Structure 1
């Protein structure tokens, strides 16, 4: 569907506009009295969220990100689905599933009763997806842009057998100085340290970043806070449907090795991901659905 048709069908005057973005992908620009956002229809990915009157974006988006069919966009909120991490069956399929590198459908746009904007994107199984993952599904991403950014990833099993998934909002937050950042809400939680051979460890105190960090936290609470004194803000992450969380920063060596990151990007970004990962596996019965929800709120210091 072309940009003109998308605007006719789903544009909202002065609030929701479709345009041709980088790589020729259809982008959605949302702006209301509370916030603005940028969404890529390719990958079903929020790229930017900025409260009204503020100059700092919630999201980190790499200046070297790929905008090419079949590639993931580095930054914003990539969607990992129907698996998180390596192929769980060892078949050589791409890490993090297959929805972060294909075009989604625009299902609906609307203005809510309190003046927020909602954008709903979706995917359903096709012969191509069946060849990768042989299950029938409908996937919806419900995005609400207001004083907070609210994301709901809804998986409906339209097949006749139970399906099992892992998944994530692989959220890249923009931070002022990684050396000053700390993450609270994970104190006393066990985690799998993927930067140290997957060993299980316990978090003592707030999470700080001074080297590569790649951890899956287990049995997490609902609220996690990223404290960012350099930007004079706190990012509150509230989740539903998730018992695990991932904290990731590639640090200097890996950042330099990644073609879609600048060498020093690790200083300006931190991923704190709302996940169903590791043992947090979700089973969905035929005709049923599961909702993974993350809400992001900025509090200024």
Structure 2
């Protein structure tokens, strides 16, 4: 096994690690245990590093793979079972853990070829303001010939805990107008931009405007086909039956202070998620793992 190269770096106010191993480079921040970028040697990036991202302590970062937990999206749009877990206000979008420092527990070999990076968040064990539940939370990253990300929640308390969550992945693309997503044809989705109507996806998904859809009963694998970069990016999920596909397009991107006006062209979010009818109910002592693996291959 080759020796991984690990470098501590600082991006403005955030402590980060740049890790090179097995022909790939990973950039990950302590805040949020958030992957900021991922790239194979000699290839275009796979995880998008937003050039306008703001790296300030206590501020969620719009790039990479934010961890949304113990709820996803707008709090009021979550099922009552999720809302009932939170005893305070306001309720920040995408939960309570994106802007907290996680503890790095180790960078170790998982197999001969893979490196494993583990983070935990002790505050989730009863110390999150307004969320008085005891859940052991671990984020694990596997770096090798693929990228693997998993989020494991274990209920340490004596009452059931209900949560929604997502690994809010920003994938790098040549130009979102020229790529398409395979694996969604025939699925139902919630069109959040049109009064949350339930619709049917007839064909593969192509992009010609702002997109914010929650796909339901999603197959394990979705694929981004990117002809300009001559590759297929396969995203294989586990612990989830839903996926959120998002791109802000022109007008919405222009409203975002932490995204370039043309930044929407270079990214596409496919978020492995437990949302809507796919929320997680953790009985006392139970655990659940949400995850995805990412591989690219030539067209």
Q: Distance in 2 between matches of 1:230 and 1:256?
A: 25
Question: 1-side partners of 2:36 and 2:239: how far apart?
Answer: 23
Partner Cα separation in structure 1 for residue 65 and residue 124 of structure 2: 24
Corresponding pairs, count: 289
Offset at 1:63? Answer: 1.2
Selected match of 2:61 from 59, 69, 73: 73
Find out whether 1:160 has 2:158 as its counterpart: yes
1:217 to 204, 215, 218: 215
Q: What are the residue-to-residue correspondences of 1:24-63 with 2, within 5 Å?
A: 24-52=13-41, 54-63=42-51
SS in 1 for 2:145: coil
What's the CA shift string for 1:7-63, capped at 9, x where partnerless?
xxxxxx9514241321232211211233221111111111111123x2311011211
* TM-score with structure 2 setting the length: 0.92
Go from structure 1 to structure 2 and tell me whether the alpha carbon gap of 1:126 and 1:76 turns closer, same or farther (over 3 Å shift). Answer: closer
For the residues of structure 2 that align with 1:114 and 1:14, how far apart are their CA atoms? 11
TM-score in terms of structure 1 length: 0.92
Q: How does 1:5-24 map to 2 (within 5 A)?
A: 14-24=3-13
Aligned twin of 1:287: 285
Q: Aligned residue for 1:9? A: none
Unaligned stretches of 5+ in structure 1?
A: 1-12
Q: Does structure 2 conserve the Cα–Cα contact (< 8 Å) formed by 1:37 and 1:49?
A: yes
Find the counterpart in structure 2 of residue 248 from structure 1: 246
Q: Distance in 1 between matches of 2:133 and 2:202?
A: 41
- For residues 251-276 of structure 1, the C-alpha deviation after alignment (integer angstroms, 9 at most, x for no partner) is 10010000000001111110011110
Three-state SS of the structure 1 residue aligned to 2:46 is: coil
Cα distance between partner residues in 2 of 1:31 and 1:271: 24
Asked if the contact 1:130/1:136 (under 8 Å) is kept, the reply is no
Give the aligned partner of residue 85 of structure 1: 73
- Determine the structure 2 residue equivalent to 1:276: 274
Contact 2:189 2:214 in 1 (8 A): yes
Mapped to 2, the partners of 1:253 and 1:128 lie a distance apart of 40
Q: 2:52 aligns to what?
A: 64
